Amino acid sequence: GGLMREQVCTYMCPWPRIQAAMMDEESLTVTYRADRGEPRKPFEKNADWDQRGDCIDCKACVVVCPMGIDIRDGQQLECITCALCIDACDDVMGKIGRPRGLIDYDSIANDERRRAGEETKLRLFRPRTLFYFGLWGLIGLGMLYVLLTRADLDINVIHDRNPLYTTLSDGSLRNGYTFKILNKAREQRTLMLHASGLPGIKLKVVGSEDMGDSPDPYFTVKPDRLQSFRLLVTVPPGTLKDDAADLRFVLKEINTGQTASYNGLFRGPGQ
């Protein structure tokens, strides 16, 4: 970024292209009033302003421009409409006693109207702006809908890579998982985990020895937290007919019945 400086904004950022595609001749943008500024000349005391333009060629607008452009050359793709040149030029106009706004927000159409000696107009409501307004409104509503209806409970189950399975002394098969519960609600929640897909499944949460092997263990998850648990899933001997079977984990909130689920695999040696 430091080496590339404004090249990143000009050539890598998509915004200048999007902005250029969205604008038309009535769009307000940072504009140099050439009709008022030209012919530019260095400042002279007691100058006859009727015989010259208001621009004193001090280059204050160029010096402050973060994109290194001269707005007096017309509208350019590089301009990020930061308006620093407007402030710089207004300061200069104040010092030399000329009206502010030599660089100001204006449209190409107004520039042409001025040259033709016509009244300038501000046309905010045009088919294009109404279309954009409707489009952004719809996008905003969509985002609001997603925000208001987003799930505030989520689970993620990651199977152990090594070992993929363990055969216990009685021939039962055991798989280990890292089990993550994301509680986005502002209150603590009590949740029950259920796994299905194979007969006789027993679940054990490591560290909750008192719970023992249980078909449906309970969890308490604090508000606004992602909590991680080690989970061991055991099935009786001969249950797994292949080297893997689908396993569905369903987490259910006790009070509301809200659920979140995850589809995983249970692995074994195969027959």
The stretch near ligand SF4 (CB under 6 A) out of 88-96, 134-142, 188-196, 246-254 is: 88-96
CA distance 24 to 248: 55
102 makes contact with ligand SF4 (CB under 6 A): yes
The stretch near ligand SF4 (CB under 6 A) out of 78-86, 136-144, 161-169, 233-241 is: 78-86
Going by C-alpha positions, the residue among 207, 217, 204, 208 that lies closest to residue 172 is 204
Neighbours of 168 (CB within 10 A): 10
Say how many residues make up the chain: 271
Query: Is the CB of 40 or the CB of 252 nearer to ligand SF4?
Result: 40
| Close Cβ partners of 131 (under 8 Å, ≥ 6 residues apart) | none
What proportions of the chain, in percent to the nearest 5, are helix, strand and coil?
30, 30, 45
Query: Is the CB of 29 or the CB of 156 nearer to ligand SF4?
Result: 29
Cβ atoms of residues 32 and 86 within 8 Å: no
The stretch near ligand SF4 (CB under 6 A) out of 81-89, 117-125, 192-200, 222-230 is: 81-89
Interface pick for ligand SF4 out of 85, 195, 203, 260 (rule CB under 6 A): 85
Q: How far is the CB of 19 from ligand SF4 (least distance, A)?
A: 11
Interface pick for ligand SF4 out of 57, 104, 152, 154 (rule CB under 6 A): 57
Tokens representing 70 are: 């001269």
Query: Is the CB of 79 or the CB of 221 nearer to ligand SF4?
Result: 79
The stretch near ligand SF4 (CB under 6 A) out of 18-26, 52-60, 152-160, 187-195 is: 52-60
CA distance 51 to 39: 9
CA 183 to chain centroid, in Å, comes to 22
Q: How far is the CB of 48 from ligand SF4 (least distance, A)?
A: 17
92 makes contact with ligand SF4 (CB under 6 A): yes
160 φ, ψ (degrees, to nearest 5) = -60, 140
Tokens representing 50 are: 């009727």
Cβ atoms of residues 194 and 233 within 8 Å: no
28 makes contact with ligand SF4 (CB under 6 A): no
CA distance 213 to 196: 15
The stretch near ligand SF4 (CB under 6 A) out of 87-95, 134-142, 192-200, 252-260 is: 87-95
Query: Is the CB of 57 or the CB of 160 nearer to ligand SF4?
Result: 57
59: left (phi over 0), alpha (psi -120 to 50) or beta: left
Helix (H, G, I), strand (E, B) or coil at 163: coil
Query: Is the CB of 38 or the CB of 152 nearer to ligand SF4?
Result: 38
Query: Is the CB of 61 or the CB of 235 nearer to ligand SF4?
Result: 61
Interface pick for ligand SF4 out of 10, 27, 67, 204 (rule CB under 6 A): 67
Binding site for ligand SF4 (CB under 6 A): 30, 37, 55-61, 64-67, 69, 71-72, 79-85, 88-89, 92, 102-103
